[in-house]
Amino acid sequence: MTYKPTHSANLTNMSTDKKLILVFGATGRQGLPVIDALLAPCDDGTPTPYAVRAFTRDPSSERAQQLSNRGIECVKGSVEDFSSIQAALEGAYGVFVNTDTFAIGEQREIYANMRIFEIAKQTNTMRHYVFSGLNYALKLGAHNPEYMVDHFNSKGRFADWLQAQPSAVDDSALSWSVVNTCLYFEMLNHYLLAPLNKRTDGTYVFPSPVQDGHVALISLRDIGYFIRYTFDHRAETSAQTLDVAGELITWDDMVKTFAKVTGQPAVHKRQTFDDWWKNCTNVDSPVGDGSPTFKQIFTAFFKMWRDDVVVRDMEWIRSIHPKLQSVEDWMRENNYDGSVVESFRKAGQVDKRGVGVNIEQVIALVLCHIRRPAPDRARHARRHALLLYEFDDWKQICPHGEKDHAGLGRHRRAWRSMRRRMVNGSTFGDEGSGVAVVKCVF
């Protein structure tokens, strides 16, 4: 028997004569700028052709209330309550779906997304389904179990299933599109990406386990741009996956960009996963459906970037968005100055998953404290002070430019020999130089 929806087949929101888009995850970091982009005027200044209906578990929440105050309809439901989804889709022309792996877990997210699409197919008014995806890391990484990145794989598996579904661009059928996003630039304010320490000499320390891998990042504003672009270009994006990013960047270059924008010295502190996880607390807490831990998911996540499993065609991305924000643009526009480090020093501060920063450990990222030398020994002491930094760190912050790099080989040898002898409390230099390693962490 053929399924016959009972509701009318209006393609627009009757009250405003606009195409109504139901937004899942509307109150979230991603949903809000997507709504802004959908409601923004067209490039030629004419009003947007879209209206938005926000899907939320709690229409009385502060975020939902802010949307209501903007005249946006908020409907109550859950991505796992399928009758609420059916009701919310009534009369809508399109749907934007961003589901939250960290709220429901990988397995439930896959099924929820399949049902959301099926219900959209059954809704007479629906014409365009747009999924906010993430790359299927496990498949891209030859199914290496190191890449069990739950939030990527659940969305990637679903998107593979979606490929098997019809996508028709006409006035009586539904087309689908996938926009694969990536890390938000805004996560540079989060302990996973931010500088976690500022040394006494003013150097910002960005600890990271990604080594020389390339990380894809994008501004939330540009995610909004690409979702609007997809709704605006239904025919071109039908049955297509758009892999978007603002920049595909190494952590060395990200840190150099920070130094360029802020004028502050900064180092990329390369860490092993063992050392890196010591920067955080409570990382063994379960996430989503409770099977993997935060540490397991984000170890796989950073291995995925370290190993360049996920890549981007930046030339193509810029061809459809010439005003794409780079990390430099984003830092300048948002006055990003690394001052977020101060907030990480508040003991006991944890996120909604209970994960926080290990204060003792990040303070240790200073590497060493050096007793102030006697004034007449300043030159000698400075030489030793430099040697007390890890060689790579010192090279990055070397204030004297290229001309001093001729001496790098000599310094490297001296540094290695010094490092072997360094232990907490040991002293260096000629007797009485005043240079001492009070605390030394590598």
Ligand X SMILES: NC(=O)c1ccc[n+]([C@@H]2O[C@H](COP(=O)([O-])OP(=O)(O)OC[C@H]3O[C@@H](n4cnc5c(N)ncnc54)[C@H](OP(=O)(O)O)[C@@H]3O)[C@@H](O)[C@H]2O)c1
Nearer to ligand X (CB atom), residue 147 or residue 184: 184
81: exposed, middle or buried (Cβ count in 10 Å: 0-12, 13-18, 19+): middle
Q: What is the DSSP string of 126-194?
A: --EEEEEE---HHHHTTT-GGG--HHHHHHHHHHHHHHTS----STTS-EEEEEE--EEGGGGGSTTTS
Q: How far is the CB of 223 from ligand X (least distance, A)?
A: 8
- The position carrying tokens 């859950």 is 78
CA-CA distance, 202 to 397, in Å (whole number)? Answer: 10
Nearer to ligand X (CB atom), residue 97 or residue 367: 97
> Looking at 153, 181, 197, 361, which residue binds ligand X (CB under 6 A)?
181
> Looking at 73, 100, 275, 289, which residue binds ligand X (CB under 6 A)?
100
> Looking at 50, 158, 184, 415, which residue binds ligand X (CB under 6 A)?
184
Binding to ligand X in span 380-439, by CB under 6 A: none
Kindly report the length of the chain. Answer: 442
Q: How far is the CB of 113 from ligand X (least distance, A)?
A: 11
Is 288 within 8 Å of 105 (Cβ atoms)? yes
Nearer to ligand X (CB atom), residue 31 or residue 94: 31
Q: How far is the CB of 61 from ligand X (least distance, A)?
A: 6
Bridge partners, residue 350, by sequence? 356
Residue 259, phi-psi category: left (phi > 0), alpha (psi -120 to 50), beta (remainder): alpha
Task: Kindly state whether residue 98 participates in binding ligand X, applying the rule CB under 6 A.
Answer: yes
Is 223 within 8 Å of 30 (Cβ atoms)? yes
Q: How far is the CB of 152 from ligand X (least distance, A)?
A: 7
CA angle 106, 111, 113 (to 5 degrees): 90
Q: Residue number with the shortest CB distance to ligand X?
A: 28
Contact partners, residue 63, CB within 8 Å, separation at least 6: 27, 32, 56
Task: Kindly state whether residue 27 participates in binding ligand X, applying the rule CB under 6 A.
Answer: yes
Task: Kindly state whether residue 31 participates in binding ligand X, applying the rule CB under 6 A.
Answer: yes
Nearer to ligand X (CB atom), residue 27 or residue 125: 27
Binding to ligand X in span 133-162, by CB under 6 A: 134, 151
Task: Kindly state whether residue 30 participates in binding ligand X, applying the rule CB under 6 A.
Answer: yes
Q: What is the DSSP string of 362-409?
A: HHHTT-EEEPPPPGGGHHHHHHHHHHTS-HHHHHHH-TT-GGGGGGHH
> Looking at 51, 88, 94, 101, which residue binds ligand X (CB under 6 A)?
101
Nearer to ligand X (CB atom), residue 117 or residue 394: 117
Nearer to ligand X (CB atom), residue 78 or residue 241: 78
Q: How far is the CB of 122 from ligand X (least distance, A)?
A: 19
CA angle 300, 338, 151 (to 5 degrees): 25
CA-CA distance, 5 to 26, in Å (whole number)? Answer: 26
Binding mask 32-61 for ligand X (x = CB under 6 A): ------------------------xxx--x
Binding mask 185-204 for ligand X (x = CB under 6 A): --x-----------------
CA angle 75, 79, 83 (to 5 degrees): 70
192: helix, coil or strand? coil
Task: Kindly state whether residue 103 participates in binding ligand X, applying the rule CB under 6 A.
Answer: yes
Nearer to ligand X (CB atom), residue 79 or residue 368: 79
Is 226 within 8 Å of 242 (Cβ atoms)? yes
Task: Kindly state whether residue 180 participates in binding ligand X, applying the rule CB under 6 A.
Answer: no
Q: How far is the CB of 39 from ligand X (least distance, A)?
A: 17
Other CB atoms within 10 Å distance of the CB of residue 1: 3
Nearer to ligand X (CB atom), residue 109 or residue 307: 109
Task: Kindly state whether residue 25 participates in binding ligand X, applying the rule CB under 6 A.
Answer: yes
Q: Enumerate binding residues for ligand X (CB under 6 A).
A: 25-31, 56-58, 61, 64, 78-80, 98-104, 134, 151, 181, 183-184, 187
